[in-house]
């Protein structure tokens, strides 16, 4: 256990990096770590470097795995399954095909046009932006492994239950006709060499970094401000763990935003440090990643209002229940 803890501290939390940044702040910039400016500068530099290092390594590794699960193969795996097992496999495949909420929509169209059950495609649609291996490892680096594993488990449960409920609602008629009438091509599986997979993984790292770098900088900046400049009393009054409205407020505040979990993690870290409930913070993160306004607008183009409303209601209620659950049992994780 001591070796595991040491590896976790050095490889994920990067305590060595925190020490080097502390030397930079104190010796080079001449600022005290106990001052607001010094603490903010340390938080910003340390989190930005740590997230970019972890993100690059994780996306490269996960993209290598993802190269074995292109959309056609994912569709074929799901095509022969029905019922709860299909929803579970759809949710699990979402964890190894890490797409943001907007880029998941074209896959939703492809899966639906291929004749996959509607509930299964929604299980994938919920899971893909919400839960992936990179988010689990980054959560472990910011918080701990128990929180990271619990987050993944409840995210998969939400995806399975959400897809199952939508499937049983029999709302296939509320999918736009152009989706169901467009038949996906049954293309042969391309055989990739190790060099091809290496190149694909590098391209994915560059593409994702290019897409999220601004959100990371903004998220870390907000986190640094919360951590060192906003009074704890003010935060507690608004979304403190003792306020019943904190979870639904956090979930609703997350919907208008559009960011990956990589940009919301620094904000979550700062909020927990200010005494905000763990469940409130996780509800905010889940709403940002699974229910962003741009993704809802895109989804409205392919499904009709009743189905979109059912999807939104199921996911937002599920997120709030998860938030209250984590707030009630936070002592088990922190």
Q: Which residues pair with 276 in a beta bridge?
A: 240
- Taking the C-alpha atoms of 143, 270, 273 and 133 in order, what is their torsion angle to the nearest 10 degrees? -10
Q: Is 80 exceeded by the pLDDT of residue 118?
A: yes
Supply angle C-alpha 129, 131, 133, rounded to 5: 115
| Model pLDDT, residue 178 | 64
- 276/270 Cα distance (integer angstroms): 9
Q: How far is CA 138 from CA 8, 190, 191, 289, in A?
A: 11, 32, 31, 15
Cα 122 from Cα 164, distance rounded (Å): 9
Residue 100: its H or E element: none
Q: Which pLDDT tens digit goes with each residue over 273-309?
A: 777 888 988 888 888 877 776 677 767 777 888 988 9
Burial (CB < 10 A; 0-12, 13-18, 19+), residue 23, is exposed
Is the pLDDT confidence value at 323 over 50? yes
State the pLDDT at residue 187.
42
The rounded distance, in Å, linking the Cα atoms of 121 and 171 is 13
Within 13 Å of residue 154, how many CA atoms lie on the same side as its CB? 19
pLDDT higher at 27 or 238: 27
Instruction: Kindly indicate the confidence band of residue 120, based on its pLDDT and cuts at 50, 70 and 90.
Output: confident
Rounded to an integer, the average pLDDT of 66-76 is 64
Residue 119 has pLDDT above 80, yes or no: yes
The DSSP-derived string for 289-330 is HHS-HHHHHHHHTTB-HHHHHHHHHHHHHHHHHHHHHHHHTG
Asked if residue 239 lies in contact with residue 246, where contact means CB atoms within 8 angstroms, the answer is: yes
Quick one: CA dihedral 318, 323, 327, 332, positive or negative?
A: positive
Q: CB within 8 A of 39, min separation 6: which ones?
A: 33, 227, 228
**Cα distance between residue 246 and residue 27, in whole Å:** 41
Distances in Å between the Cα of 271 and the Cα atoms of 85, 146, 220, 227, 250 are 37, 19, 12, 7, 11
Q: Which pLDDT does position 62 carry in this prediction?
A: 67
| % pLDDT > 70, the chain | 75
Do residues 201 and 64 lie in contact, with contact meaning Cβ atoms separated by under 8 Å? yes
> Quick one: pLDDT at residue 162?
92
For 258-300, what is the HEC assignment?
CCCHHHHHHHHHHHHHCCECHHHHHHHHHHHHHCCHHHHHHHH
Cα torsion for 57, 59, 60, 62, to the nearest 10°? 120
Higher pLDDT, 42 or 63: 42
User: In this predicted model, what pLDDT tens digit does every residue of 209-225 receive, in sequence order?
Assistant: 887 788 778 878 887 88
Mind listing the pLDDT tens digit for each residue in 230-262? 776 666 667 776 678 889 988 887 776 656 666
Tell me: the pLDDT tens digits for 155-206? 999 999 999 999 888 888 888 776 665 444 444 445 677 888 888 888 878 8
Give me the chain's average pLDDT, please: 78
Report which of 101, 132, 160 is spatially closest to residue 314, judged by C-alpha positions. 160
Band (pLDDT 50/70/90 cuts) for residue 334 is: low
Residue 19's Cβ-side half-sphere holds a number of Cα atoms within 13 Å equal to 5
SS3 category, 175: strand
324 pLDDT band, cuts 50/70/90, is very high
Mean pLDDT of 60-88: 69
Domain residue ranges in the chain: 2-174+195-332
Cα–Cα dist 286/306, whole Å: 22
Do 129 and 289 meet the contact criterion of CB atoms below 8 Å apart? yes
Mean pLDDT across 302-317: 89
| pLDDT band at 39; cut points 50, 70, 90 | confident
Count of CB atoms within 10 A of residue 24's CB?
15
Query: Quick one: pLDDT band at residue 313, thresholds 50, 70, 90?
Result: very high
């Amino acid at each position: 256990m001591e070796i595991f803890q040491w590896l976790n501290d050095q490889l994920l939390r990067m305590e060595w990096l925190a020490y080097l940044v502390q030397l930079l702040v104190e010796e080079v910039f001449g600022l005290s770590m106990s001052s607001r400016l010094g603490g903010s500068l340390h938080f910003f530099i340390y989190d930005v470097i740590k997230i970019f290092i972890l993100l690059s390594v994780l996306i490269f590794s996960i993209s290598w795995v993802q190269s074995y699960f292109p959309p056609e193969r994912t569709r074929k795996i799901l095509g022969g399954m029905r019922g709860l097992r299909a929803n579970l496999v759809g949710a699990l495949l979402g964890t190894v095909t890490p797409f943001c909420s907007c880029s998941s929509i074209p896959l939703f169209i492809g899966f639906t046009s291929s004749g996959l059950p509607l509930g299964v495609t929604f299980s994938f649609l919920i899971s893909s932006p919400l839960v992936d291996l990179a988010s689990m490892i980054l959560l472990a680096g910011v918080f701990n492994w128990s929180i990271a594993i619990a987050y993944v488990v409840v995210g998969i449960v939400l995806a399975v239950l959400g897809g199952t409920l939508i499937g049983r609602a029999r709302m296939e008629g509320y999918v736009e006709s152009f989706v169901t009438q467009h038949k996906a091509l049954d293309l042969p599986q391309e055989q990739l060499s190790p060099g091809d997979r290496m190149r694909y993984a590098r391209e994915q790292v560059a593409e994702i970094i290019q897409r999220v770098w601004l959100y990371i900088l903004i998220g870390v900046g907000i986190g640094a401000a919360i951590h060192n400049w906003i009074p704890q009393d003010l935060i507690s009054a608004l979304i403190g763990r003792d306020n019943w409205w904190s979870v639904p407020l956090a979930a609703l505040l997350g919907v208008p935003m559009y960011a990956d979990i990589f940009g919301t993690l620094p904000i979550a870290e700062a909020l927990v440090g200010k005494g905000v409930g763990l469940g409130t913070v996780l509800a905010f993160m889940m709403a940002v990643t699974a229910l962003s306004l741009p993704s809802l607008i895109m989804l409205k183009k392919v499904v009709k209002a009743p189905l979109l409303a059912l999807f939104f209601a199921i996911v937002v209620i599920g997120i709030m229940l998860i938030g209250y659950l984590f707030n009630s049992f936070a002592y088990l994780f922190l």
